Structure 1
Protein backbone atom coordinates (compact mmCIF):
# COMPACT_ATOMS: atom_id res chain seq x y z
CA UNK A 1 0.00 0.00 0.00
CA UNK A 2 2.91 2.35 -0.67
CA UNK A 3 0.62 4.49 -2.81
CA UNK A 4 -0.84 6.05 0.34
CA UNK A 5 2.45 7.84 0.93
CA UNK A 6 2.77 9.31 -2.55
CA UNK A 7 2.71 13.09 -2.78
CA UNK A 8 0.40 14.41 -5.49
CA UNK A 9 2.37 15.41 -8.57
CA UNK A 10 1.80 19.16 -8.61
CA UNK A 11 3.77 22.33 -8.02
CA UNK A 12 1.44 23.33 -5.17
CA UNK A 13 1.97 20.02 -3.37
CA UNK A 14 5.74 20.31 -3.73
CA UNK A 15 5.64 23.90 -2.49
CA UNK A 16 3.48 22.94 0.51
CA UNK A 17 6.05 20.34 1.53
CA UNK A 18 8.84 22.90 1.13
CA UNK A 19 6.95 25.42 3.28
CA UNK A 20 6.32 22.80 5.95
CA UNK A 21 10.00 21.82 5.96
CA UNK A 22 10.95 25.47 6.36
CA UNK A 23 8.54 26.47 9.15
CA UNK A 24 7.37 23.35 10.99
CA UNK A 25 9.59 21.72 13.59
CA UNK A 26 10.37 18.05 12.83
CA UNK A 27 7.67 16.75 15.20
CA UNK A 28 5.07 18.96 13.50
CA UNK A 29 6.26 18.22 9.98
CA UNK A 30 5.95 14.50 10.68
CA UNK A 31 2.49 14.98 12.17
CA UNK A 32 1.38 16.69 8.97
CA UNK A 33 2.82 13.90 6.82
CA UNK A 34 1.18 11.26 9.02
CA UNK A 35 -2.12 13.13 8.75
CA UNK A 36 -2.01 13.04 4.96
CA UNK A 37 -0.94 9.39 4.89
CA UNK A 38 -3.70 8.30 7.26
CA UNK A 39 -6.28 10.37 5.38
CA UNK A 40 -5.26 8.86 2.04
CA UNK A 41 -5.22 5.35 3.51
CA UNK A 42 -8.70 5.76 4.97
CA UNK A 43 -10.02 7.15 1.70
CA UNK A 44 -8.65 4.13 -0.16
CA UNK A 45 -10.12 1.60 2.26
CA UNK A 46 -13.63 3.06 2.44
CA UNK A 47 -13.60 4.39 -1.15
CA UNK A 48 -14.07 8.11 -0.52
CA UNK A 49 -13.58 10.09 -3.72
CA UNK A 50 -11.65 13.26 -2.98
CA UNK A 51 -9.32 15.91 -4.36
CA UNK A 52 -5.87 14.53 -3.55
CA UNK A 53 -3.98 17.77 -4.11
CA UNK A 54 -6.38 19.75 -1.93
CA UNK A 55 -6.18 17.16 0.84
CA UNK A 56 -2.38 17.04 0.71
CA UNK A 57 -1.91 20.79 0.85
CA UNK A 58 -4.46 21.11 3.67
CA UNK A 59 -2.75 18.34 5.65
CA UNK A 60 0.70 19.88 5.22
CA UNK A 61 -0.41 23.40 6.18
CA UNK A 62 -3.20 22.72 8.71
CA UNK A 63 -1.11 23.35 11.85
CA UNK A 64 1.32 26.03 10.65
CA UNK A 65 -0.33 28.57 12.92
CA UNK A 66 1.03 26.61 15.88
CA UNK A 67 4.52 27.77 14.86
CA UNK A 68 5.91 31.07 16.20
CA UNK A 69 6.04 32.87 12.83
CA UNK A 70 2.32 32.32 12.20
CA UNK A 71 0.87 32.16 15.71
CA UNK A 72 -2.00 34.61 16.22
CA UNK A 73 -2.75 36.03 19.64
CA UNK A 74 -6.36 36.72 18.69
CA UNK A 75 -7.52 34.08 16.20
CA UNK A 76 -7.89 30.36 16.95
CA UNK A 77 -4.94 28.57 15.40
CA UNK A 78 -7.07 26.78 12.80
CA UNK A 79 -8.48 30.12 11.60
CA UNK A 80 -5.05 31.74 11.51
CA UNK A 81 -3.76 28.69 9.65
CA UNK A 82 -6.58 28.98 7.14
CA UNK A 83 -5.47 32.54 6.36
CA UNK A 84 -1.87 31.40 5.92
CA UNK A 85 -3.01 28.64 3.58
CA UNK A 86 -5.21 31.03 1.59
CA UNK A 87 -2.22 33.31 0.98
CA UNK A 88 -0.09 30.29 0.05
CA UNK A 89 -2.72 29.12 -2.43
CA UNK A 90 -2.93 32.56 -4.00
CA UNK A 91 0.83 32.44 -4.56
CA UNK A 92 0.43 28.96 -6.05
CA UNK A 93 -1.99 30.36 -8.61
CA UNK A 94 -5.14 28.74 -7.25
CA UNK A 95 -8.38 30.55 -8.02
CA UNK A 96 -10.44 32.14 -5.28
CA UNK A 97 -12.93 29.27 -4.99
CA UNK A 98 -10.14 26.74 -4.51
CA UNK A 99 -8.33 29.01 -2.03
CA UNK A 100 -11.56 29.33 -0.04
CA UNK A 101 -12.00 25.55 -0.06
CA UNK A 102 -8.48 25.04 1.28
CA UNK A 103 -9.13 27.49 4.10
CA UNK A 104 -12.47 25.82 4.85
CA UNK A 105 -10.90 22.37 5.15
CA UNK A 106 -8.30 23.66 7.60
CA UNK A 107 -10.88 25.45 9.77
CA UNK A 108 -13.22 22.47 9.76
CA UNK A 109 -10.58 20.05 11.01
CA UNK A 110 -11.15 21.51 14.49
CA UNK A 111 -14.94 21.71 14.25
CA UNK A 112 -17.79 19.21 14.61
CA UNK A 113 -17.46 16.04 12.55
CA UNK A 114 -18.19 16.50 8.85
CA UNK A 115 -19.81 13.66 6.86
CA UNK A 116 -17.78 12.34 3.94
CA UNK A 117 -20.61 12.88 1.48
CA UNK A 118 -20.88 16.54 2.50
CA UNK A 119 -17.18 17.44 2.43
CA UNK A 120 -14.79 14.55 1.76
CA UNK A 121 -11.54 16.48 2.25
CA UNK A 122 -12.59 17.94 5.61
CA UNK A 123 -13.90 14.55 6.72
CA UNK A 124 -10.68 12.79 5.79
CA UNK A 125 -8.49 15.39 7.51
CA UNK A 126 -10.66 15.17 10.64
CA UNK A 127 -10.39 11.37 10.72
CA UNK A 128 -6.63 11.43 10.21
CA UNK A 129 -5.82 14.24 12.63
CA UNK A 130 -8.08 12.78 15.31
CA UNK A 131 -6.31 9.43 15.02
CA UNK A 132 -2.82 10.90 15.01
CA UNK A 133 -3.34 13.42 17.82
CA UNK A 134 -5.53 11.63 20.35
CA UNK A 135 -6.01 8.12 18.98
CA UNK A 136 -9.67 8.78 18.14
CA UNK A 137 -10.85 6.24 15.58
CA UNK A 138 -7.51 4.43 15.32
CA UNK A 139 -9.43 1.16 14.97
CA UNK A 140 -10.36 2.30 11.45
CA UNK A 141 -6.79 1.62 10.37
CA UNK A 142 -5.04 -1.70 9.84
CA UNK A 143 -2.05 -2.37 12.10
CA UNK A 144 0.24 -2.46 9.07
CA UNK A 145 -0.87 1.01 8.01
CA UNK A 146 -0.33 2.44 11.50
CA UNK A 147 3.06 0.79 11.79
CA UNK A 148 4.14 1.98 8.33
CA UNK A 149 3.04 5.57 8.99
CA UNK A 150 4.84 5.82 12.33
CA UNK A 151 7.94 4.12 10.94
CA UNK A 152 8.15 6.48 7.98
CA UNK A 153 7.29 9.58 10.02
CA UNK A 154 8.33 8.99 13.67
CA UNK A 155 6.53 10.77 16.51
CA UNK A 156 9.68 12.65 17.66
CA UNK A 157 8.24 13.76 21.01
CA UNK A 158 4.93 14.80 19.46
CA UNK A 159 2.88 14.53 22.66
CA UNK A 160 4.85 16.94 24.83
CA UNK A 161 5.49 19.42 22.02
CA UNK A 162 1.89 19.43 20.81
CA UNK A 163 0.40 19.72 24.28
CA UNK A 164 2.71 22.63 25.06
CA UNK A 165 1.36 24.50 22.01
CA UNK A 166 -2.25 23.48 22.70
CA UNK A 167 -2.05 24.65 26.31
CA UNK A 168 -0.64 27.99 25.17
CA UNK A 169 -3.51 28.38 22.71
CA UNK A 170 -6.07 27.56 25.40
CA UNK A 171 -4.59 29.99 27.90
CA UNK A 172 -4.43 32.90 25.48
CA UNK A 173 -7.72 32.18 23.69
CA UNK A 174 -10.08 30.59 26.24
CA UNK A 175 -13.05 30.54 23.85
CA UNK A 176 -11.25 28.71 21.02
CA UNK A 177 -11.82 25.07 20.06
CA UNK A 178 -8.47 24.01 21.52
CA UNK A 179 -9.43 25.48 24.90
CA UNK A 180 -12.75 23.66 24.85
CA UNK A 181 -11.00 20.39 24.05
CA UNK A 182 -8.44 20.93 26.81
CA UNK A 183 -11.27 21.46 29.32
CA UNK A 184 -12.80 18.20 28.07
CA UNK A 185 -9.76 16.06 28.86
CA UNK A 186 -7.95 16.34 25.53
CA UNK A 187 -4.51 16.35 27.18
CA UNK A 188 -5.16 12.95 28.75
CA UNK A 189 -6.37 11.49 25.46
CA UNK A 190 -3.36 12.86 23.59
CA UNK A 191 -0.97 11.48 26.21
CA UNK A 192 -2.69 8.10 26.03
CA UNK A 193 -2.65 7.73 22.23
CA UNK A 194 -1.79 4.10 21.42
CA UNK A 195 0.50 5.33 18.64
CA UNK A 196 2.89 6.37 21.42
CA UNK A 197 2.74 3.06 23.28
CA UNK A 198 6.15 1.58 24.16
CA UNK A 199 7.42 -0.88 21.59
CA UNK A 200 5.19 0.40 18.82
Structure 2
Protein backbone atom coordinates (compact mmCIF):
# COMPACT_ATOMS: atom_id res chain seq x y z
CA UNK A 1 0.00 0.00 0.00
CA UNK A 2 1.14 3.54 -0.84
CA UNK A 3 0.24 6.81 0.84
CA UNK A 4 -1.79 7.95 -2.17
CA UNK A 5 -3.96 4.83 -1.86
CA UNK A 6 -5.23 5.80 1.61
CA UNK A 7 -8.74 7.24 1.59
CA UNK A 8 -8.64 10.79 2.96
CA UNK A 9 -12.12 12.34 3.05
CA UNK A 10 -12.49 15.82 1.64
CA UNK A 11 -15.73 16.86 3.34
CA UNK A 12 -16.26 20.35 4.71
CA UNK A 13 -16.12 18.97 8.27
CA UNK A 14 -12.74 17.35 7.59
CA UNK A 15 -11.27 20.46 6.00
CA UNK A 16 -12.44 22.59 8.90
CA UNK A 17 -11.20 20.09 11.49
CA UNK A 18 -7.75 20.20 9.90
CA UNK A 19 -7.88 24.00 9.88
CA UNK A 20 -8.77 24.08 13.59
CA UNK A 21 -6.09 21.53 14.49
CA UNK A 22 -3.53 23.54 12.50
CA UNK A 23 -4.50 26.71 14.38
CA UNK A 24 -4.10 25.19 17.86
CA UNK A 25 -1.65 22.28 17.68
CA UNK A 26 2.12 22.54 17.55
CA UNK A 27 3.64 21.30 14.27
CA UNK A 28 4.66 18.06 16.02
CA UNK A 29 1.19 17.45 17.45
CA UNK A 30 -0.48 18.33 14.15
CA UNK A 31 1.67 15.87 12.21
CA UNK A 32 0.93 13.23 14.88
CA UNK A 33 -2.80 13.82 14.39
CA UNK A 34 -2.53 13.48 10.62
CA UNK A 35 -0.41 10.32 10.96
CA UNK A 36 -2.94 8.90 13.45
CA UNK A 37 -5.59 9.07 10.74
CA UNK A 38 -3.31 7.70 8.02
CA UNK A 39 -2.11 4.72 10.10
CA UNK A 40 -5.72 3.97 11.09
CA UNK A 41 -7.13 4.18 7.58
CA UNK A 42 -4.28 2.16 6.08
CA UNK A 43 -4.72 -0.57 8.69
CA UNK A 44 -8.46 -0.71 8.00
CA UNK A 45 -8.11 -0.76 4.23
CA UNK A 46 -5.52 -3.54 4.34
CA UNK A 47 -7.82 -5.68 6.49
CA UNK A 48 -11.20 -4.79 4.95
CA UNK A 49 -12.44 -3.16 8.16
CA UNK A 50 -15.41 -0.97 7.29
CA UNK A 51 -15.13 2.45 8.89
CA UNK A 52 -16.58 5.94 8.68
CA UNK A 53 -13.70 7.96 7.20
CA UNK A 54 -15.15 11.37 8.05
CA UNK A 55 -15.84 10.41 11.66
CA UNK A 56 -12.37 8.89 12.07
CA UNK A 57 -10.65 11.88 10.47
CA UNK A 58 -12.36 14.43 12.70
CA UNK A 59 -11.62 12.29 15.77
CA UNK A 60 -7.96 12.04 14.75
CA UNK A 61 -7.67 15.81 14.35
CA UNK A 62 -9.09 16.44 17.83
CA UNK A 63 -7.96 13.38 19.80
CA UNK A 64 -5.15 15.28 21.58
CA UNK A 65 -6.62 18.80 21.51
CA UNK A 66 -7.13 18.54 25.28
CA UNK A 67 -3.34 18.69 25.66
CA UNK A 68 -3.00 22.17 24.19
CA UNK A 69 -3.07 25.13 26.58
CA UNK A 70 -6.30 26.64 25.26
CA UNK A 71 -8.30 23.44 25.89
CA UNK A 72 -6.44 21.89 28.81
CA UNK A 73 -8.86 21.01 31.61
CA UNK A 74 -7.92 20.88 35.27
CA UNK A 75 -11.00 18.83 36.09
CA UNK A 76 -11.21 16.04 33.50
CA UNK A 77 -8.67 13.86 31.66
CA UNK A 78 -7.34 15.32 28.41
CA UNK A 79 -9.12 12.75 26.25
CA UNK A 80 -12.47 13.69 27.81
CA UNK A 81 -11.72 17.39 27.27
CA UNK A 82 -10.89 16.61 23.64
CA UNK A 83 -14.13 14.70 23.29
CA UNK A 84 -16.07 17.74 24.50
CA UNK A 85 -14.26 20.01 22.03
CA UNK A 86 -15.08 17.60 19.20
CA UNK A 87 -18.73 17.41 20.26
CA UNK A 88 -19.01 21.21 20.05
CA UNK A 89 -17.18 21.24 16.70
CA UNK A 90 -19.52 18.55 15.36
CA UNK A 91 -22.56 20.53 16.51
CA UNK A 92 -21.25 23.53 14.58
CA UNK A 93 -20.76 21.27 11.55
CA UNK A 94 -24.44 20.34 11.74
CA UNK A 95 -23.92 16.73 12.77
CA UNK A 96 -26.86 15.05 14.52
CA UNK A 97 -26.56 14.45 18.26
CA UNK A 98 -25.74 10.75 17.90
CA UNK A 99 -22.85 11.50 15.52
CA UNK A 100 -21.53 14.15 17.92
CA UNK A 101 -21.62 11.57 20.70
CA UNK A 102 -19.77 9.08 18.52
CA UNK A 103 -16.87 11.41 17.71
CA UNK A 104 -16.49 12.20 21.41
CA UNK A 105 -16.61 8.49 22.27
CA UNK A 106 -13.93 7.59 19.72
CA UNK A 107 -11.62 10.23 21.18
CA UNK A 108 -12.14 9.05 24.76
CA UNK A 109 -11.56 5.43 23.77
CA UNK A 110 -8.26 6.09 21.98
CA UNK A 111 -6.64 5.94 25.43
CA UNK A 112 -8.05 2.48 26.22
CA UNK A 113 -5.79 -0.57 26.13
CA UNK A 114 -8.09 -2.18 23.58
CA UNK A 115 -11.29 -1.29 21.74
CA UNK A 116 -13.52 -3.98 20.22
CA UNK A 117 -13.49 -3.56 16.44
CA UNK A 118 -16.99 -5.04 16.11
CA UNK A 119 -18.48 -2.57 18.60
CA UNK A 120 -16.49 0.50 17.59
CA UNK A 121 -14.33 0.24 14.46
CA UNK A 122 -13.27 3.90 14.53
CA UNK A 123 -12.31 3.71 18.21
CA UNK A 124 -10.42 0.49 17.55
CA UNK A 125 -8.52 2.03 14.65
CA UNK A 126 -7.63 5.24 16.50
CA UNK A 127 -6.44 3.30 19.55
CA UNK A 128 -4.17 1.16 17.35
CA UNK A 129 -2.82 4.05 15.30
CA UNK A 130 -2.02 6.28 18.26
CA UNK A 131 -0.35 3.38 20.09
CA UNK A 132 1.89 2.89 17.06
CA UNK A 133 2.69 6.57 16.68
CA UNK A 134 3.38 7.34 20.35
CA UNK A 135 4.58 4.08 21.91
CA UNK A 136 5.74 2.21 18.82
CA UNK A 137 3.35 -0.69 19.35
CA UNK A 138 3.05 -3.15 16.47
CA UNK A 139 5.00 -1.42 13.69
CA UNK A 140 5.03 -4.64 11.67
CA UNK A 141 1.27 -4.21 11.15
CA UNK A 142 2.10 -1.49 8.60
CA UNK A 143 4.40 -2.10 5.59
CA UNK A 144 7.88 -0.61 5.97
CA UNK A 145 7.51 1.29 2.69
CA UNK A 146 4.30 2.93 3.88
CA UNK A 147 5.83 3.83 7.23
CA UNK A 148 8.75 5.51 5.47
CA UNK A 149 6.47 7.39 3.08
CA UNK A 150 4.14 8.67 5.83
CA UNK A 151 7.05 9.71 8.05
CA UNK A 152 8.70 11.44 5.10
CA UNK A 153 5.57 13.45 4.32
CA UNK A 154 4.58 14.10 7.96
CA UNK A 155 7.80 13.96 10.02
CA UNK A 156 7.81 13.31 13.74
CA UNK A 157 9.67 16.54 14.57
CA UNK A 158 9.67 16.82 18.40
CA UNK A 159 6.63 14.63 19.15
CA UNK A 160 8.53 12.25 21.45
CA UNK A 161 9.84 14.98 23.71
CA UNK A 162 6.66 17.05 23.52
CA UNK A 163 4.30 14.16 24.24
CA UNK A 164 6.43 12.88 27.10
CA UNK A 165 6.28 16.32 28.73
CA UNK A 166 2.49 16.43 28.24
CA UNK A 167 2.00 12.99 29.79
CA UNK A 168 4.20 13.78 32.78
CA UNK A 169 2.27 17.01 33.33
CA UNK A 170 -1.12 15.31 32.98
CA UNK A 171 -0.04 12.48 35.27
CA UNK A 172 1.12 14.87 37.97
CA UNK A 173 -2.01 17.04 37.86
CA UNK A 174 -4.48 14.19 37.28
CA UNK A 175 -2.93 11.09 38.89
CA UNK A 176 -6.18 9.10 38.68
CA UNK A 177 -6.47 9.58 34.90
CA UNK A 178 -5.40 7.08 32.26
CA UNK A 179 -2.46 9.40 31.53
CA UNK A 180 -1.45 9.09 35.17
CA UNK A 181 -1.55 5.31 34.86
CA UNK A 182 0.50 5.47 31.66
CA UNK A 183 3.15 7.53 33.44
CA UNK A 184 3.36 5.02 36.29
CA UNK A 185 3.64 2.15 33.80
CA UNK A 186 6.62 3.74 32.04
CA UNK A 187 5.24 5.53 28.99
CA UNK A 188 8.28 7.83 28.88
CA UNK A 189 10.52 4.83 28.26
CA UNK A 190 8.18 3.42 25.61
CA UNK A 191 8.12 6.74 23.79
CA UNK A 192 11.91 6.97 23.87
CA UNK A 193 12.20 3.41 22.50
CA UNK A 194 9.65 3.91 19.69
CA UNK A 195 11.18 2.42 16.53
CA UNK A 196 9.52 5.15 14.47
CA UNK A 197 12.01 7.58 16.04
CA UNK A 198 14.91 5.82 14.28
Q: Normalising TM by the smaller chain, what interval?
A: over 0.9
Aligned residue number for residue 86 of structure 1: 87
Distance in 2 (alpha carbons) for counterparts of 1:183 and 1:166 = 10
User: 1:138: Cα distance to partner?
Assistant: 1.2
Pairing 1:107-146 to 2, within 5 Å after superposition? 107-146=108-147
Instruction: Report the secondary structure of 1:104's partner residue.
Output: helix
User: 1:7: Cα distance to partner?
Assistant: 2.9
Report the RMSD for the aligned CA atoms in angstroms: 0.8
* Equivalent residue in structure 2 for 1:3, among 2, 5, 17: 5
Give the TM-score, by structure 2 length: 0.97
Aligned residue number for residue 172 of structure 1: 173
Asked if 2 retains the 8 angstrom alpha-carbon contact of 1:7 and 1:13, the reply is: no
User: 1:112: Cα distance to partner?
Assistant: 3.2
Aligned residue number for residue 71 of structure 1: 72
User: 1:74: Cα distance to partner?
Assistant: 1.2
Asked if 2 retains the 8 angstrom alpha-carbon contact of 1:159 and 1:191, the reply is: yes
Aligned residue number for residue 101 of structure 1: 102
Aligned length: 196
Distance in 2 (alpha carbons) for counterparts of 1:38 and 1:145 = 9
Does residue 1:150 correspond to 2:151, yes or no? yes
User: 1:145: Cα distance to partner?
Assistant: 1.2
1:54-96 per-position Cα deviation (integer Å, ceiling 9, x unaligned): 0000001100010000000111000000000000000000010
- The runs of at least 4 consecutive aligned structure 1 residues that moved more than 3 Å come to none
Instruction: Report the secondary structure of 1:90's partner residue.
Output: helix
1:154-190 per-position Cα deviation (integer Å, ceiling 9, x unaligned): 0111111111111100000000001101101111001
Distance in 1 (alpha carbons) for counterparts of 2:151 and 2:69 = 26
1:109-154 per-position Cα deviation (integer Å, ceiling 9, x unaligned): 0123012111100000011000000001111111011111111100
Structure 1, unmatched stretches of 5+, are none
Structure 2, unmatched stretches of 5+, are none
